[in-house]
Chain A
Amino acid sequence: MDWLRSCYESEWHLFADSPATKTGGRYYISPPKNPFVGTTHFYASRRWHETNYTKIQSLGEDLESQQAWFNGEPPAVKPNAIQVGSNTCFNFGDAIANALGDDDMREGFIGACFTPAVPLDPLWEMASTYDSCALQFFYATLLKWAGDGLHERMTTAFHMLLGDAAQTFFVVTLPPRPNVMICKMPTFSVVVVDGTPNPQTLAMQAFASIIRPQNVGLYGTYAPWYALSSFVNDLCNTVGVNANAPVFLVGYSMGGAMIDNVAARWYNANPQRKIRTLTFGAPKPGNSRLIQFLKKLPGISIANEQDIVCSLPPTLNLIFPVATALLMPSLYAWAEWEQEPNRARQANNGVLTFNVNPIIDTPLLTHLVTQIIGVQPFDPVLPHRIKEYRRRIEVRCPQTQWPISQVLWDYLHGADNPDIDVGVGVGVEVLDLNLCPCCATEPSPETFDVILDVPEVPELDGQIMTMIQFISGPAGCGWIGMIIVEGEELTLEFFSELVDEEVLFGGSLGFTGSEPFMFNAGFGEADDFSCLPWGFVVSAPLFDGGDPLGFDITVRTLPLLDEFFNVGVALGVEVVDG
């Protein structure tokens, strides 16, 4: 800390044995009453130097570096006001050998500043250090798996992160209730709430209903979200979560609004309880009274740049012209909704910008309001999908960081599991072939040639199904391809989230044998339906006269147009228990 009239970015010399090494840094405005460092240090500003006489460069701010003005906004996650390092290090500089690598940094800040140098509970820090991009990727993957019902994988991932002491409870529910995973540790708990199968619609409920936050006593929120938070609370009580122990709450979409409600209620029940939150794509959860509670809890609220769900219901400035134009003063009911604190907007390349929201403009809001008036379903907000959150975090965080080990990192990517393991029971295993992630900036390779060997599964009865999934590209483009399945008694079905008019197919779906199946897929003229999945399901009985069956699939594809990109291919197997 230093006394300054304005904040700026500059460079500092901090290493006693490597004085030429410069370290970039910036000042931001610290909270009132923040304590000063209790010793002399070299992080001070050169603006205080005596100006009458020539200075010699020593440790401290570089005397020549340009000082770039900075607005002084603190990071969304403020570092703890603690001294990390000895007074000797502060007074005389540190050794270059002690320089921190990227693994020790959190969003550009020294990681140790965010947590005690010697954590009281290392596992709690590992499970709840929400500003670690690797941990964000961990939870985004878990949320994706929760939506897919892959509770075994979630359990394995928790065990890999926290050890065998982790007790997990996965609760599968019917909409509108979300799936909930609770990981109970001896000293703390983690609650992961997914967004239900139709998260966007449910997250936009408060917006679609054109209501102000409903008073639930402590604060105002959307009554169904409050009711669902009671459901999560009851679940935690049922499985024996310690109501006074630290808890980390993770939620996606409507699940985010739910955990905001849970967090506020638990905070009121016990303000001393350690509660941290991590949300992806959460809408505005309630009124200012709820936000005041949430501001007291550390956490981060990630919103993809184009995920307008996070900015709904809209602000008064946005409502005014629309309400005036449509003569709908009732829209002013939205004005009382406030966004989550600690908002971090995530760009397409994964970069986080703190304290800003996804942008909604007046034409878009007008369009949404007309959809409400016409009782039409909202258009899909593609950046709202948890897969897209996960992808963007991965762009920001291409390699693992603390606290995620490389083994766990590989497991989260499925790299440890090249052969499909269907021996665990009913479920879907998806191979992320990573040929070209959806919405990638680089063109796809000209051809994909994927061979999938589906193993025999003697332990199960029923049917084995393989999903070959493509991700659609921009309008006017298409695919030709060939699927070769070597097996018997096979059936092949087409599936798509695209409406029928938008996809044109050639080839025969009456495929039942091992002959190559040719297909020709083209997309219509819709403005933007990229990143929606379509594909085929190949299924076969598991047994044929007592012998277990397996089959081999080869997929060979060729994009029709050179500019065809935004394509991914995923292959998976689902075993339907007969």
Chain B
Amino acid sequence: MDVTRLTNIMQVTTTPTDLARARQHTGGWSESFWTSLNPSAYNPLWLIQQNKRANLLPGSAAIVGFRTQIYTISGNKLLPGGASSGRQGLPGQPSLGTDLPQVALMFNCASVTSPNNTRMILRGMPDTIMSGGEYQPTPTFAGLVTQFQNSMIGMNFGFVGRDLAQASVRVLKIVVNVISLEQIPATGLNVGDFIRLHRVYDDDFNPVKGAFVVTAIAGANITVQGLNASVSEPSGTLRRDVLSYFPYGAIQAVRAVVKKVGRPFEQYRGRRSKTRA
């Protein structure tokens, strides 16, 4: 399945008035979400989303660019595909101010089709929506947030995650690559699939973690590659490890959090890596 990761490139420039005490700084950050649509379908929807997102930005911030990258979901892995990027120029609202740009708003995003959910954090929130140390939007701003939520729901925008709809089964025993299960998961398990162990501890009480590829299935016993552990008592669960795309079903603002903005994407000359070759 091909999905596309859509990214908005944001930038904020501080606007001190007393230049004897401070000078302007520029920072940048990005916000991403996913879609299963093709470009001709998602472009008009994305533009609406960008406008709604820009309405939540203070006047000194703007959406300055965009980026897309195609991924193919292959089992529990992503196969990166082509990317594209470009400039955008959607400024924030001049009436909204910011101090140190660190206020962010966290949203809880639920999937329509699965128990999966994710958290989305919007950075560069104007400080006028903060009062008493918490998120206290004005009625106008709350309306803008609702518009933003509506621009994300039902538009086939979503997120990618490990599919929690896959059934979990108890692990009874593990003897070098062979896992004995209570039963084969009802949602299916085939040779070549990956499984992931959860809260499984070996006989020495060390956690047994990770994803393993299934090479054989015999009854409720499955054989995997590279699992050198010994578990003689029932411990933890196993689930087929599958990545899936989940469209947003509901988005709710949760609370204000702190997320500083990073280095800008333009004009910044780059930090020299500590591990320069």
Assess whether B83 is in contact with A36, with CB atoms less than 8 Å apart.
no
For A59, what are the chain B residues with a Cβ–Cβ distance below 8 Å? 81-82
CB proximity to A under 8 Å, residues B1-49: 5, 7, 9, 28, 30
How far apart sit A90 and B83, CA to CA, in the bound complex (Å)? 10
CA distance A50 to B277 in the complex (A): 24
A3 to B272, CA, bound (A): 17
| CA gap between A44 and B82 in the complex, in Å | 8
Does A4 sit within 8 A of B, measured CB to CB? yes
Tell me, yes or no, whether A67 is within 8 Å of chain B by CB. Answer: yes
CB neighbours of B70 from chain A (8 A): 40
Instruction: Tell which of A68-76, A140-148, A333-341, A475-483 binds the partner.
Output: A68-76
A9's closest neighbor in chain B, by CB?
Answer: B277
B93 within 8 A of A: no
| Contact assessment for A39 and B269 in the assembled complex, using a CB-CB cutoff below 8 Å | no
Task: Check B271 against A40 for contact (C-beta < 8 Å).
Answer: no
Contact of A69 with B81 in the complex, beta carbons under 8 Å:
no
Most buried by B among A2, A39, A90: A2
How far is the CB of B266 from the nearest CB of chain A, in Å? 8
B160 and A53 form a contact (CB under 8 A): yes
Expressed in whole angstroms, the Cα–Cα distance for A516 and B86 within the complex equals: 77
Tell me which residues across on chain B come within 8 A of A8, comparing CB atoms: 273
Chain A residues, CB < 8 A from B30: 3
B270 touches A7 (CB 8 A): yes
What's the Cα separation between A1 and B85 when bound, in Å?
8
Q: How many residues of A contact B (CB 8 A)?
A: 38
Do B82 and A91 have beta carbons less than 8 Å apart?
yes
Name the one of A36, A72, A90, A91 contacting B269, with C-beta atoms under 8 angstroms.
Answer: A72
Give the complex CA separation of A302 and B165 in angstroms. 66
Chain B 76-95 per-residue mask, 1 if CB under 8 angstroms from chain A, else 0: 11111111111100000000
| Stretch of B61-69, B100-108, B133-141 with 4 or more beta carbons under 8 angstroms from chain A | B61-69
Cβ contacts under 8 Å, B65 to chain A: 3
Q: Which residues of A contact B265 (CB under 8 A)?
A: 3-5
Q: Are A68 and B276 in contact (CB under 8 A)?
A: yes
Residue with the highest number of chain A CB atoms closer than 10 Å, among B77, B81, B265: B81
Say which residue of A38, A39, A55, A72 sits within 8 Å of B78 (CB atoms): A55
Q: Count of B residues near A, CB < 8 Å? A: 41
Q: Are B85's CB and A2's CB within 8 A?
A: yes
A5-B265, A5-B270 are contacts. A55–B79 as well, Cβ < 8 Å?
Answer: yes
Complex contact A66–B80 (CB within 8 A): no
B150 within 8 Å of A (CB atoms): no
- Residues of chain A within 8 A (CB-CB) of B78 are 49-50, 53-56
Closest to B69 in A: A48
Give the interface centre of B69, B87, B271 by most chain A CB atoms within 10 Å: B69
Q: Is the CB of A37 within 8 A of B84?
A: yes
Q: Mark B51-77, 1 if CB is under 8 A from A, else 0.
A: 000000000000001011111001011
**Cα separation A66 to B74 with both chains bound (whole Å):** 25
Q: Write the chain B residue with the least CB distance to A46.
A: B80
Could you tell me the distance between the alpha carbons of A217 and B99 in the complex, rounded to whole angstroms? Answer: 50
Question: Is B164 part of the contact surface with A, judged by Cβ < 8 Å?
Answer: no
B80, A6: Cβ atoms closer than 8 Å:
no
Cα A53 to Cα B28 in complex, Å, equals 24
Considering the chains assembled together, what is the distance between the CA atoms of A68 and B274 in angstroms?
10
- Cα distance, A37 to B85, chains bound together (Å): 7
> Is A555 part of the binding interface, using a Cβ–Cβ cutoff of 8 Å?
no
**Residue from the list B5, B80, B272, B273 in contact with A60, Cβ < 8 A:** B80
A365 close to B (CB within 8 Å): no
Chain A neighbourhood of B264, CB < 8 A: 5
Contact status B80-A40, CB under 8 Å: no
CB pair B5 A68 closer than 8 Å: no
Tell me if B145 counts as interface (CB < 8 A to partner A): no
Closest to A63 in B: B80
Residues 146 to 195 of chain B near chain A (Cβ within 8 Å) = 160
Within the assembled complex, what's the spacing in Å between the Cα atoms of A6 and B70?
A: 23
The 8 closest A-B pairs by CB, nearest first: A6-B270, A40-B82, A44-B83, A68-B277, A69-B273, A69-B276, A36-B86, A40-B84
25 A–B contacts, CB within 8 A, in A order: A3-B65, A5-B262, A5-B271, A6-B270, A36-B86, A36-B87, A40-B70, A40-B83, A41-B83, A41-B84, A44-B85, A50-B78, A50-B160, A56-B74, A56-B77, A56-B78, A58-B81, A59-B82, A60-B82, A66-B277, A69-B270, A69-B273, A69-B276, A71-B269, A90-B82
Residues of A within 8 A of B (CB): 1-9, 29, 32, 36-42, 44, 46, 48-50, 53-56, 58-60, 66-69, 71-72, 90-91
Known: A5-B28, A44-B83. 13 other contacts (CB 8 A): A29-B269, A36-B85, A36-B87, A39-B84, A40-B82, A49-B80, A50-B160, A53-B160, A60-B82, A68-B277, A71-B272, A72-B270, A91-B82
CB within 8 Å of A: which residues of B? Answer: 5, 7, 9, 28, 30, 65, 67-71, 74, 76-87, 160, 211, 243, 262-266, 268-273, 275-277
